[in-house]
Structures are given as structure tokens and as C-alpha cells.
Amino acid sequence: MIKGRIVGTGSTTPKRILTNKDLETIVDTSDEWITRRTGIKERRISSNGQRENTSDMATRASSRALKMAGVSPETLDMIVMGTVTPDRQFPSAACFVQKRLKASKAVAFDVSAGCSGFLYALSVANNAIATGNCENALVIGAERLSSITNWEDRSTCVLLGDGAGAVVLTPSRDRDGILSTHLESDGNLWELLYSSDKGSKIPEILDTVQRKPFYIKMEGHRLFKKAVSCLADIAVSALEHHNLSSQDIKLMVPHQANLRIIQAVAEKLSVPMDRVYTNIQKYGNTSSASIPIALDEANRQGLLKAGDYVLLVTFGAGLTWGASVVNWSF
Ligand code: UT7
């Protein structure tokens, strides 16, 4: 059976660093609270005029992944990007990436699945490769969350950051590759995490008069508990699907929402923390970008070699969650 194999990874984050100490001057918070409750020490924030919009970062991360893969953009059949912060409501941010990469024959589109966007996008591309509809695919997770952050809300603004990551997929007929993706959603719980940003539900006439322009709203405490149970359950299902145990996993690369969530999930799965990749300390929660950034860092640090089992797990607005088991290729 054909499946996608990851042959290149790339990532980028904005230059500007916003530390917990900096945030103490913006909202009523402390470095101590943020570190203890989330594990975050600093995050990267896009600056205007620095080519750090979502599609700018996505293009940079993609170029790095393509370079590592030795795949030229003209040979891409598909560009699929997980994002909740595209440059514009339409066209898709993926189309801007296609234009900049000159990937003229690729079909390009965005996937909206909250923080799970990258894994959903990976699933779409992997399935397209499995059916033979696509050979070379670029899968991106990219966010400029600072553009929808309420800088007066301490319960959310301390958590978020900007960045992008990407992987290149080519077909595998061997043991290696994306063995499976497992996705779930529960729209009944949408109110635990959502954006009040402009949508068709809010008529434009009320737009400027009655509401603040955007913003993330979150019920963090309930979300925390749901995140731990959903992440652990779907990771177990994914491993059982392949008759693997947590001991077989060389590296778990989870969505970076909260260090305590990651630790709780690792404990439930009996995966020691030295086999869990975390970079939330440096970047905060970058939504769809967090897994591909972490995967690229782990890969470039030489933590992965051919044949290693990698477990990707994610959770986000929707609610959405998912897992993927990858047999690493290079
Ligand atoms: O990426 C998508 C998925 N995201 C998640 O799953 C996020 C899940 N939730 C979380 O990570 C955590 O719930 C948070 C980090 C958001 C919050 O941590 P918590 O331990 O659940 O705190 P809490 O919301 O229960 O708030 C505890 C206290 C409250 O004060 P009182 O009512 O006890 O007096 C908050 O007002 O902490 C207060 N608080 C803060 N204090 C200082 C909330 N935010 C802050 C802050 N600085 N930034």
C-alpha cells in the first residue's frame, strides 16, 4: 500500500521575542504564574514590515523543508496548510505560498481545524498520496496568532505565539512513512475555545459599531481536562491500531498548549519526558504550527533516524483532536 513519507522538514519563527517579564508590563500577570501554570518563558511575535505574516512564515518554512527534501516546488502536486490565521479570509494562505514558491501545478488550499490544523492537513495529503492522486505534497502549519490576540486578556494573551513549520511528503511503498492518522471532532464543545473574529454570522453593519474586532475566547480549565483525556485516548487508539506500545515510541511530538497537559498525557501513556519533545518554553502555543516546528527542531537536532516510530498528537478548537504514527524515513 502506498503512503506518504516525510522527506524534509522546515520551520521559522519571528525575530521579535516577547518574554514573560515583558508581559508583566502589559497585563496583570507574573513570570512565576506563567511558568508554573504553562511552562512558557517567552514567545515570538510577528512584526509588521518584517515579512512575518502567516503566508510569509509559511513560505520560509516550506522553502527550508523543500531544500532538505531536494524536491523542487514545480513538482508539487498539493499544498495544504493548517491555519486559523490566514492572511485574508480568502484566498487561502496556501495559494499565497503557491505563488511565492512558483509551485504552478500544485492544488493549494487551507484546512481549518483549530490547533489540530497541521495533523488534519497531514491526513488530507497522506490520503491523496495513498489513492495515487498526488505524488509530492507540501504540508504546512502556520499561524500569526498575535493578530487575533486580546492583549487585555491575561488568561489567553500569555499563552500564544507566532510561527510556521512544514513537511514535504513523497510516496512510500516501503515500511517507512505515515502509518496512519486518527482524527476526531466534537462541535458540541465549540464554546470552550473560539474566535470572535469576523464570520458570516456577524453582519458587517454591526461589525465596526458593536464589537471589538477579533479575539480568542477560552474556557481554559475545562479545556485542560478535555485536552488531557482526548490526547491520551487518541494516542492509545493510534498505538493499538499498529500493535505498538509506548516503549516502541522513540519520540512523542505533541501540540504545545501547556507543559502540564503534555506531562499529564506522557504520564498516562507511560512515555518518559526524555522521549517527549517540548519547545513551549521558547514559543508558547503556536496552534497549527506547533507540531511541525517541534518536528523540524527534533529532526535537525538529530533526534530521529530511519525506522524510529514517532507519535504526533494534537488537540484544539472545534473541538478537534488527532494522532498520527510515523515510521521515520531518513
Ligand atoms: O491549544 C488548544 C488547546 N488549549 C488548551 O488546551 C489550553 C488548556 N488550558 C490551560 O492550559 C490552562 O487552563 C490555562 C493555562 C489557560 C490556565 O491555567 P489554570 O491552572 O487552569 O488556571 P485557571 O484558569 O483556573 O485560573 C487560576 C487563577 C485565576 O484566579 P482565581 O480565580 O483563582 O483568583 C485566574 O484569574 O489564575 C488567574 N489567572 C492568571 N493569573 C496571573 C489566569 N490567567 C492569569 C495570568 N496571570 N496570565
pLDDT (tens digit per residue) in 41-58? 999 999 998 899 999 999
Establish whether 115 is a catalytic residue.
yes
Using CB distances shorter than 6 Å, the residues near ligand 1 are 29, 33-34, 37-38, 115, 154-155, 158, 220-221, 223-224, 227, 257-258, 261, 285, 315-316
Report the nearest-CA residue for atom 21 of ligand 1: 221
Catalytic residue of the set 53, 126, 258, 285: 285
Taken in order of first residue, the domains within the chain and their CATH numbers are: 1-330 (3.40.47.10)
pLDDT tens profile 270-325: 999 999 999 999 999 999 999 999 999 999 999 999 999 999 999 999 999 999 99
- Residue 158 alpha carbon, nearest atom of ligand 1: 48
Per residue of the chain (330 residues), give pLDDT as tens: 899 999 999 999 999 999 999 999 999 999 999 999 999 999 999 999 889 999 999 999 999 999 999 999 999 999 999 999 999 999 999 999 999 999 999 999 999 999 999 999 999 999 999 999 999 999 999 999 999 999 999 999 999 999 999 999 999 999 999 999 999 999 999 999 998 866 777 655 555 545 555 689 999 999 999 999 999 999 999 999 999 999 999 999 999 999 999 999 999 999 999 999 999 999 999 999 999 999 999 999 999 999 999 999 999 999 999 999 999 999
CA distances 67 to 54, 62, 135, Å, are 20, 8, 17
Listed residue (79, 75, 138) closest to 107, CA to CA: 79
Beta partners for residue 44, in sequence order: 17
Q: Whose CA is nearest to atom 30 of ligand 1?
A: 155
Q: What is the DSSP string of 196-249?
A: ----TTS-HHHHHHHS-S--EEE-HHHHHHHHHHHHHHHHHHHHHHTT--GGGE
Q: Which pLDDT belongs to residue 202? A: 64
* pTM beyond 0.85, yes or no: yes
